[in-house]
């Protein structure tokens, strides 16, 4: 409301999305916005699976407040018909990814559609900041600021410790009127371990731990819905087959989700998971960024996670004290939320991203 840019940092499920959304909504209510005339709110997310969930989350308050804004998505999964329509006129709210935004901004006729842009929200900023996709996002934001200097930039993150640096990278160190909004409550994460009854030596190659499938299946039996994370797509397929062999009666209620799965199938799995129709979904990082699947009661990580920060960020917002299971982890205990935060280092001199932007 005061035209500030900034960073919102709080645990998963504590309302970061609506905290970022309601500033533009209050502006619309105060000004009597009737819609049309281009984009008002641009929402950037690093994961396609987050796009569908975010669109639904944004639509609910907009419809309840009777604000005449359309909320649409634009990713690699969006149909050619919708993309063609958006080239002629953007909706008032657009949820997209860094790659789709970069392509969208190459259309010269769309510059006028960004003139009424009020705010840009970058979701899961910690996930983007330390990668070239983050650099791609920064370049896109810099171009937006040249088109509309008054646009507000807000980052959203649940797991990052270097907040000042993250804010500087997002908005630029010299940006006026900046703020960091932090959640007051911390969250306790319960970490448990599943270990084999007989400790054996790991084979030199190909160890994926499927010998623990009976124990994992027994744990899944104790709750209604679970997520089983693996580090690679091949491991996800292997664990899916292993769990299905242990529980043939789960056929139709267990699924595998990763980036190579057909788009329609992924959408069906995400919808069924949100409705509580799935007993278990074996997945990779395609579902690890805090997607709101309220029915999920337990989460498993097979083997060591790629990093400690993604673990708590994948918690379902409805399951704030949901236990995590590592069958290969040597430790067990409860860690305060601050122990899970990790710094994200921005990319230094990402010349490939810069050259790609110049070429457009």
The vertex-356 CA angle with 355 and 360, nearest 5°, equals: 110
User: Could you tell me the pLDDT band of residue 256, with boundaries at 50, 70 and 90?
Assistant: very high
pLDDT at 355 over 70: no
pLDDT at 357 over 70: no
pLDDT for 273: 87
- Which H, E and C letters describe 26-63, residue by residue? HHHHHHCCCCCCCCCEEEECCCHHHHHHHHHHHHHHHH
Same topology for domains 5-185 and 188-339, yes or no? yes
pLDDT for 306: 60
- Taking the C-alpha atoms of 207, 208, 209 and 211 in order, what is their torsion angle to the nearest 10 degrees? -90
Longest dimension (CA), the chain: 68
Structure tokens belonging to residue 57: 């989350």
- Comparing 88-97, 155-164, 300-309, which segment has the lowest mean pLDDT? 300-309
165-193 mean pLDDT: 78
User: Could you tell me the pLDDT band of residue 337, with boundaries at 50, 70 and 90?
Assistant: very low
User: Could you tell me the pLDDT band of residue 320, with boundaries at 50, 70 and 90?
Assistant: very low
Question: Which carries the bigger pLDDT value, residue 149 or residue 341?
Answer: 149
pLDDT for 280: 93
pLDDT at 324 over 80: no
pLDDT for 279: 93
259: number of Cβ within 10 Å: 12
Per-residue pLDDT reduced to its tens digit, 49-72: 778 888 988 999 999 999 999 999
How far apart are alpha carbons 162 and 342 in whole angstroms? 8
Q: What percentage of the chain carries pLDDT values higher than 90?
A: 26
What residue has token string 């002629």? 88
Q: Domain boundaries in the chain? A: 5-185, 188-339
pTM: 0.72
User: Could you tell me the pLDDT band of residue 46, with boundaries at 50, 70 and 90?
Assistant: confident
Name the pairing type of β-strands 5-9 and 178-182: parallel
pLDDT for 347: 67
pLDDT at 341 over 80: no
108-127 mean pLDDT: 86
Q: What fold characterizes domain 5-185?
A: Rossmann fold (3.40.50)
> Beta partners for 160?
none
Per-residue pLDDT reduced to its tens digit, 213-248: 998 999 999 989 999 988 889 999 999 999 999 999
Under CATH, which number does the domain 188-339 receive? 3.40.50.300
């Amino acid at each position: 409301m005061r035209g500030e840019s900034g960073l919102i940092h709080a645990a998963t499920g504590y309302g970061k999305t609506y905290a970022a959304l309601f500033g533009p909504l209050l502006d619309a209510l105060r000004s009597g916005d009737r819609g049309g005339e281009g984009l008002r709110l641009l929402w950037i997310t690093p994961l396609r699976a987050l796009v569908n969930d975010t669109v639904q989350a944004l639509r609910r308050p907009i419809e309840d407040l009777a604000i005449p804004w359309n909320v649409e998505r634009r990713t690699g999964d969006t149909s050619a018909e919708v993309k063609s329509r958006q080239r002629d006129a953007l909706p008032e709210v657009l949820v997209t990814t860094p790659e789709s935004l970069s392509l969208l901004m190459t259309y010269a006729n769309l510059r006028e559609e960004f003139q009424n842009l009020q705010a840009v929200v970058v979701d899961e900023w910690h996930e983007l900041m330390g990668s070239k996709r983050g650099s791609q996002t920064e370049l896109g934001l810099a171009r937006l600021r040249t088109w509309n200097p008054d646009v507000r930039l807000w980052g959203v993150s649940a797991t990052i410790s270097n907040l000042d640096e993250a804010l500087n990278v997002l908005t630029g160190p010299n940006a006026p009127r900046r703020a960091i909004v932090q959640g007051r409550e911390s969250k306790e994460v319960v970490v448990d371990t599943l270990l084999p009854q007989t400790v054996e030596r790991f084979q030199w190659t190909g160890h994926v731990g499927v010998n623990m499938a009976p124990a994992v299946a027994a744990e899944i039996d104790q709750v209604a819905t679970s997520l089983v994370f693996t580090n690679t797509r091949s491991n996800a397929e292997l664990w899916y087959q292993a769990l299905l062999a242990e529980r043939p009666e789960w056929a139709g209620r267990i699924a595998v989700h990763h980036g190579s799965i057909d788009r329609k199938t992924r959408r069906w799995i995400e919808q069924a998971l949100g409705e509580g129709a799935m007993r278990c979904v074996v997945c990779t990082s395609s579902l690890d960024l805090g997607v709101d699947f309220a029915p999920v009661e337990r989460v498993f990580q097979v083997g060591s996670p790629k990093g400690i920060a993604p673990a708590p960020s994948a918690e379902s917002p409805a399951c704030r004290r949901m236990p995590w299971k590592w069958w290969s982890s040597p430790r067990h205990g409860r860690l305060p939320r601050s122990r899970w935060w990790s710094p994200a280092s921005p990319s230094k001199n990402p010349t490939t991203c810069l050259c790609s932007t110049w070429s457009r």
